[in-house]
Amino acid sequence: MTVEQMSSAQTLNFQAEVKQLLHLMIHSLYSNREIFLRELVSNASDACDKLRFEALENSALFESDSELKIRVAFDKTSRTLSISDNGIGMSRDEVVTNLGTIAKSGTKEFFGKLTGDQKKDAHLIGQFGVGFYSAFIVADKVTVRTRRAGLASTEAVQWECSMTGDSAGEYTVQPIDKADRGTEITLHLREDQNDLLSSWKLRSIIQKYSDHILQPIVMKKEQWDEEKKEQVITAEDETVNKANALWARAKSDITDEEYTEFYKHVGHDYEPPLAWTHSKVEGRHEYTQLLYVPGHAPFDLWDRQARHGVKLYVRRVFIMDDAEKLMPLYLRFVRGVVDSNDLPLNVSREILQESKDIDTLRAGCTKKVLGLLEDMAENDKDKYAAFWKEFGQVLKEGVGEDFANKAKIAGLLRFASTHAETSEELVSLTD
């Protein structure tokens, strides 16, 4: 990149797949429009988690502001809604990569399955994961201002895209000055989205979809103005969500709806999970596990090199996404969280390769998931049939890979029978 490019605005074209996804955002997901706020808040939470992790080795990244939070605000006059965080932020190259392209395994297959039927395509989009682009469900223009922690204020970046006029399908990137680190996303709302310019509406969406987010989500407090006869915004901040680790709470205090919404956050999915298991293990090793079996297969299911879906925390501090050593390859569809009390906070992927503590966590997680599947196969045959249809072929890999659990896995296998009139795999080895 040249000095001139870094110091001036550039207009760039989206990757072809992004253009197609943006078109689908606008036309296929309107009935599920509230997910935009969940997705953007979830991204902000991930940015805060990543900063906290990187700051373990370089505390200067906090820049004397270690109180991580997410802010949601709106402006009725300009008809804008903003979601900001003081997390890790992005550099210019990260902005172009993360907001201009989709670097996802299975992207080609995903677009090949689209039918043009809005209802069916909306279902597929939910499986693929929409992330940042969900902003365009409710906005016709989006502005992102961001600065990566550790970079100078003059190295901040503005990304902007309008989906109206001749510039639709293009975006601009330009340098700006931004004193505080992190990212601010401003949505210029469509004409029919006025109800989002309401504190009550935004709070209800946050509490519905993002109550479990670890960082506090703050909004300006409102109070009744007797003279104006209306609610007015004050200068005082108010935390809207519970801001605690859902997995650390007692199971009896968590509703099925809360479990489901947490899955949608951690699994980047907008459909409910098929099943989950939540337990706290005490003894020589102490850890909590909250593990989910999705309702459908991800698009990268057959990519054995793809990162897997379990997040590792140590004493509620985020350590890494997709900690592949926590789950065997044949269970790569599992999503969730493992929170250890024993691992060091500065644990790295290299340490995970050699850690006996991780071997214990992996064995415990594997046992829990297989137990969940055994219970499902025994007590809810229809649900297990749905699981087998989505993940059965992957589970079969375990017979040759996991000698210690070979008998359990064999009992979970299903096959087609010559005695049945259907080709469905419904018969177990014991039948």
**296 CB-near residues (< 8 Å, 6+ apart):** 127, 271, 390
Alpha carbon distance 347, 53 (integer Å): 10
Mean predicted lDDT score pLDDT of the chain: 85
Examine the pLDDT at 369 and tell me if it is beyond 90.
yes
pLDDT band for position 404 (50/70/90)? very high
- How much of the chain exceeds pLDDT 90, in percent? 49
Q: Whose CA is closest to 157, among 114, 100, 199, 111?
A: 100
CA distance 329 to 363: 13
The answer on pLDDT for 3 being more than 50 is no
Phi, psi of 284 (to 5 degrees): -65, -35
109 vs 38, residue with greater confidence: 38
pLDDT at 260: 94
Top-confidence residue, 63 or 114: 63
**CA 369, CA 372: separation in Å to the nearest integer?**
5
Strand duo 156-162 + 139-147: pairing = antiparallel
Residue 279 is predicted with a pLDDT of: 96
Q: Over 80: is that where the pLDDT of 67 sits?
A: yes
Burial class (CB in 10 A: 0-12, 13-18, 19+), 404: exposed
What is the per-residue pLDDT for 301? Answer: 79
Same fold: 3-239 with 249-412: no
Over 80: is that where the pLDDT of 62 sits? yes
CATH 3.30.230.80 fits 249-412, yes or no: yes
Q: How many helices (H) and strands (E) does the chain have?
A: 13, 14
Q: Extract the tokens encoding 112.
A: 């090949």
Residue 375 has pLDDT above 50, yes or no: yes
> What pLDDT does residue 314 have?
86
Task: Work out the average pLDDT over 62-87.
Answer: 96
Which pLDDT band holds residue 7 (cuts at 50, 70, 90)?
low
More confident position, 357 or 58: 58
Please state the domain extents for the chain.
3-239, 249-412
pLDDT for 240 equals: 95
Helix (H) or strand (E) holding 354: helix 349-354
Q: What is the pLDDT of residues 273-318, one digit of tens each?
A: 999 999 999 988 899 999 999 999 877 777 776 666 798 888 888 8
Q: Average the pLDDT over each of 80-89, 148-157, 228-237 and give the range with the smallest value.
A: 228-237
Q: With CA atoms as reference, report the closest residue to 329 among 378, 295, 296, 369.
A: 369
Match 């929409």 to its residue by tokens: 130
pLDDT interval class at 127 (50, 70, 90): low
Binned at pLDDT 50, 70 and 90, residue 71 comes out as: very high
Q: What's the mean pLDDT in 219-247?
A: 88
Which residue's entry shows tokens 């992996």? 362
Query: Distance (Å, rounded) from C-alpha 253 to C-alpha 267?
Result: 22
Q: Which among 154, 151, 145, 149 is positioned nearest to 173, based on CA atoms? A: 145
Q: What CATH number belongs to 3-239?
A: 3.30.565.10
- pLDDT tens, position by position, 326-344: 899 999 999 999 999 888 7
R_g of the chain, CA atoms, integer Å: 23
Threshold 0.85, pTM exceeds: no
Question: Residue 244's pLDDT band (boundaries 50, 70, 90)?
Answer: confident
- 416 close to 405: Cβ distance less than 8 angstroms: no
The residue among 421, 389, 283, 382 whose CA lies nearest residue 340 is: 283
Residue tagged 């001036």 (tokens): 8
Helix axes 16-28, 118-128, angle to 10 degrees: 120
Mean pLDDT of 381-388: 93
The confidence band for 117, taking pLDDT boundaries of 50, 70 and 90, is low
Give the length of the chain: 431
Residues 6+ apart with CB under 8 A from 5: none
What average pLDDT does the segment 188-192 reach? 94
What letter does residue 415 receive in the DSSP assignment?
Answer: B
Here the tokens at position 325 are: 């050593």
